[in-house]
A and B are shown apart, each in its own frame.
Chain A
Amino acid sequence: MKVDLRINGINRSAEVEPRKTLLDVLRENFLLNGTHAGCEHGVCGACTVLVDGEPVRSCLMFAVQADGYEITTIEGLAPAPGELSVIQDAFCETHGLQCGYCTPGMILAAHALLQNTLTPTREDIAEAISGNICRCTGYGQIIEAVQFAADRLRVANTPRPAALAEKPIVEAK
């Protein structure tokens, strides 16, 4: 079956079997290997991508279901080749990763959260990453990374438009 997808702002098409998950199509057809294959049955969150800006598990969606949506993978977050997004950089700064396997999913889940609010509570962050399993960090540094990224984004010159509409910007304490 031919499928037309919009991935990281670029229209792409592929000939795929209906049983091929979005995860496998991203990795094998489009070589976007930043989306990691973990449990492949919707438990671990390593394969998280954004569909219309919302985190979803790409192993629980067939590529043939995904046409017409705006799909964002970890490759779509950095502003330019060789650079990191604010959240990616915050994960490095706070040692929010060790083996790195869960990291793309964690960062996309955090990205979706920070599009909606730049003043997340610890509970908001825990809820946002609750569907993502990390077996290295114990989560503490990941939560710290998301808080740190939120702090930076709050004082950045160009706050996210959605967050601006949601809440007034509060100065970092």
Chain B
Amino acid sequence: MKPAPFDYVRPETLAEACALLAGDEDARVIAGGQTLVPMLAMRLARPAKLIDILRLPELAGIREEDGAVIVGATTRQAIAERDPVIRASVPMLARVLPWVGHPPTRNRGTVGGSIANADPSAEIPLVAVTLGAEILLATPDGPASMSSDDFFIGPMLTTIGQGECVRAIRFPVWPHKRIGTGFFEISARKSDFAFVAAAAQVALDDDGHCLEVALGVGGVGDRPLRLDVSQLNGTRLDAASISGAINAASGDIDAMSDLHASAAYRRRVAVTLGIRALEAARDNAAATQRKGAR
């Protein structure tokens, strides 16, 4: 349980970090290290060089602009969990953060690290895909961005290239007044890897009709999946509409099978948790008078 030797570099600027990454294919980024260090300890990863980006000022901070909340890659999960901007404007992210790891790992683990790690059962990538977040990258040629759908391509696999690193995540802010969220997951113990997770966010008008809805499931396929339940727009999100929409949307889910859960189980639980998440989100939105009542 001791990592193999490596060189450690802590660059002063993002450009320097990208140049270091571009110049060495055995170099890897480290920020919070909450997934990478166990991989190193078990020698499942043996990079020659670690580039520490945790203290780069360009990657820090949470700000709201142009209908989105931009969360810097090195924002620690514990900070995001307590952040009033995230709580008010990206409620689904605030809802799932207490389920990410344990308090000590959230104190070190970063939002960008969870995105870059792309674990199919991880909560933060699930929120990114479900809300259609944009992944902002730093590349040797300057800033770039990519949709979450294009970014996640498989288990622990992303389209991130050599010399690139995640700069920030741009979560869209819904303009509606009454927004609610729901989240459920099944795991062996709380905060262990989810066999199945479901996250929902809905917006209601003053009469309780659905204005906008987003539903995603994690841990089921090889990456987080957004389910198309747009047929719920305009309904009152009654039980029959919800289960009809989810059954229609989940028909062609390609589920994984492993020691813990079969593909059939995962598909079944995804439907059940999807229904619960949407119902919880609806009730949560109904209880919200207006977005200002934070």
- Residues of A whose CB lies within 8 Å of any CB of B are 1, 17-19, 21, 24, 39-43, 45, 48, 51, 54-57, 59-62, 64-65, 109, 127-128, 130-131
- CA of A65 to CA of B2, assembled, Å: 16
Query: Could you tell me the distance between the alpha carbons of A59 and B36 in the complex, rounded to whole angstroms?
Result: 12
Query: Is B37 a contact partner of A64 (Cβ separation < 8 A)?
Result: no
B50 on the interface (CB 8 Å rule)?
yes
> For B52, what are the chain A residues with a Cβ–Cβ distance below 8 Å?
65
| B69: Cβ under 8 A from any A Cβ | no
Q: Are B8 and A55 in contact (CB under 8 A)?
A: no
**Which of A24, A60, A62 contacts B34 (CB under 8 A)?**
A60
Of A17, A62, A109, A128, which contacts B37 at CB under 8 A? Answer: A62
8 A Cβ contacts from B1-45 to A: 1-8, 30, 33-34, 37-38, 40-42
A130 near B7 with CB under 8 A, answer no
* B104: contacting residue among A17, A18, A41, A56, CB under 8 A: A56
Give the tally of cross-chain contacts (CB within 8 A): 83
Name the A residues within 8 Å of B190 (CB-CB): 130
- Given the known interface contacts A19-B3, A19-B4, the answer about A130 and B107 at a Cβ–Cβ threshold of 8 Å is no
B191 contacts A by Cβ under 8 Å: yes
Q: How far is the CA of A45 from the CA of B191 in the complex (A)?
A: 14
Give chain B residues whose Cβ lies under 8 Å from the Cβ of A39: 1
Known contacts A39-B1, A40-B1, A65-B52; is A57 also within 8 Å of B6 by CB?
Answer: no
Taking the closest CB of chain B, its distance from the CB of A108, in whole angstroms, is 9
Inter-subunit contact B1/A41 (CB<8 Å) = yes
B105's partner among A57, A64, A65 (CB-CB below 8 A) is: A57
B236 surroundings in chain A (CB, below 8 A):
none
Chain B hits for A59, CB < 8 A:
37, 41
Are A19 and B42 in touch, CB under 8 angstroms?
A: no
Which chain A residue shows the least CB distance to B4? A19
Question: How distant is the Cα of A64 from the Cα of B30 in the complex, in angstroms?
Answer: 12
A133 nearest CB across to chain B (Å): 10
A59 to B37, CA, bound (A): 8
**Closest Cβ–Cβ distance, residue B113 to chain A (whole Å):** 12
Flag B226-270 by CB within 8 Å of A: 1 or 0 each: 000000000000000000000000000000000000000000000
B54 near A: Cβ within 8 Å?
Answer: yes
A18 cross-chain contacts in B, Cβ below 8 A: 5-8, 50
**Chain A residues whose CB sits within 8 angstroms of the CB of B101 once the complex forms:** 131
| B1 & A128 in contact (Cβ 8 Å cutoff) | no
Cβ-defined contact, A41 with B38, below 8 A: yes
Which of B98, B105, B191: most chain A Cβ within 10 A?
A: B105
Q: Report whether B103 and A130 are in contact in the complex, using a CB–CB cutoff of 8 Å.
A: yes
Chain A hits for B98, CB < 8 A: 127
Residue pairs across A and B with Cβ atoms less than 8 A apart, 8 shown, are A39-B1, A41-B38, A42-B38, A57-B34, A57-B108, A65-B33, A65-B52, A131-B105
Query: B93-134: which have CB < 8 Å to A?
Result: 98, 101-105, 107-108
Check if B102 sits within 8 Å of A60, measured CB to CB: no
Question: Does B78 sit within 8 A of A, measured CB to CB?
Answer: yes
Alpha-carbon distance between A61 and B32 when the two chains are bound, in angstroms: 8
| Given contacts A65-B54, A131-B103, A60 and B1 within 8 Å (CB-CB) | no
Given contacts A19-B3, A60-B105, 6 further A-B contacts (CB under 8 A): A45-B102, A60-B38, A61-B33, A109-B104, A127-B98, A131-B191
> In the complex, A39→B4 CA distance in Å?
17
A73 CB to closest chain B CB, in angstroms?
14
